[in-house]
Amino acid sequence: MNWVYCVLTTILLTGFSNTLSFAREKQDPRNLEIGTYIEGTYLNGTQKKKFRGYINRTQGYAIIIVTNQLPHRRRITYRSIANFRVKKTRKIAVQIQPESRQLLAQTGVVVGKQAIIHTSDVDYLRVSGTIASVTDSGLVIADTHKTDVYKIFTVSDLHEFLVNRGRTSYTKRGFKAGLVTGFCLGVIFSSSDANTDVGTGWSTVVNVLLSPKSVAFSIIGATTGSLIGRLTSHDNWYPVPLERLKITLSPTHHTND
């Protein structure tokens, strides 16, 4: 009986400890670093909604989350958060001068955009992530990672800085081109099979345009064109002019394993 009592006591104490740990984390999410990936649920009136993204700000009475979907920023009050959990995140901070922020905005470096940086350090580093924060002193690029990593660079440490200004989609264009091409082929094949003895004038034209072959070729053409257009769509990556952003601060590196 003693060993049963010990096992039950251990389980209860472990559960109580985890509950205290979760409650402590739940009460003070503002202690999390900028750029940390967080997901959970919050109460919006009587509805419970999900949220996920990178932390942009934790000041005041609400936390601001950055997502890849519009609107890029979402404000959630601490009181409304029902539960949350934190994922391991790699956060890359780049120090800038205050006057450089306007140039960054002009080149598309804004919160919520995707960015890629290449360092010119001996330890080559390539990071692709979401811009979680942009201030007068620097910016933070974050992505989920197998370990928690936080590194600080200056612009002088960067070899290349690319920002995604959106995606060029050819799906609609491919749909229209495929539809027209398929329809024309369908009309050609239908015309060769048309029976000119049955009906004359407009009736023959209508029969050709609405023939099964014209419809089938139109559907096949539109589907094929849409697929080709989607496959040829691409993201638009633009380089940020690093020479105009360079500063003379020494880099600092810090990693939390």
* β-bridge partners, 130: 114, 142
User: Residue 148 is inside which H or E element, if any?
Assistant: none
Give the pLDDT of residue 122. 62
Token couple for 245:
């952003």
What tokens were used for 21?
Answer: 């740990």
Coil/strand/helix, residue 140: strand
How confident is the model at residue 210, as a pLDDT?
Answer: 77
pLDDT score at 45: 85
Evaluate the omega torsion of the peptide bond into residue 71 and state whether it is cis, within 30 degrees of 0. Answer: yes
Amino acid identity for residue 165 in this structure: R
What is the model's pLDDT at position 124? 77
Q: What token pair was written down for 43?
A: 């109460």
Q: What is the pLDDT along the chain (257 residues), one digit of tens a residue?
A: 554 455 445 544 444 444 333 333 445 777 888 999 999 999 988 899 999 999 998 878 898 998 866 677 888 998 899 889 999 999 999 988 888 888 888 888 888 899 999 887 666 788 899 999 998 888 999 998 888 989 988 888 888 899 998 888 888 999 999 989 988 888 888 777 655 555 556 677 777 777 888 888 889 989 998 999 888 888 888 988 888 776 544 444 444 54
Where in the sequence of the chain do the CATH 2.30.30.520 domains occur? 21-87
- pLDDT in the model for residue 168: 86
CA geometry: angle 147, 115, 89, nearest 5 deg: 15
Closest CA to 110 of 150, 62, 164: 164
Q: What is the pTM of this model?
A: 0.67
Both tokens of residue 254? 């810090």
Helix (H, G, I), strand (E, B) or coil at 251: coil
- Residue whose entry in the numeric block shows the structure tokens 């919160």: 111
pLDDT at 203: 72
What's the CA gap between 226 and 222, in Å, rounded?
6
pLDDT tens digits for range 39-79: 999 998 889 999 999 999 887 889 899 886 667 788 899 88
Task: State residue 93's pLDDT score.
Answer: 92
Closest CA to 255 of 124, 37, 118, 88: 88
pLDDT at 142: 93
* CA distances in angstroms from 178 to 27, 173, 211, 229, 231, listed in the order given: 56, 8, 18, 10, 14
The CA-based dihedral angle spanning residues 116, 120, 122, 125, taken in that order and rounded to the nearest 10 degrees: 0
Please state, in angstroms and rounded to a whole number, the distance separating the CA atoms of residues 135 and 104.
Answer: 10
pLDDT of res. 201 = 61
Torsion of CA 210, 213, 217, 219, to 10 degrees: 60
**CATH class of domain segment(s) 21-87:** mainly beta
Quote the CA–CA distance of 142 and 38 in Å, as a whole number: 12
Q: How far apart are CA 178 and CA 223, in angstroms?
A: 7
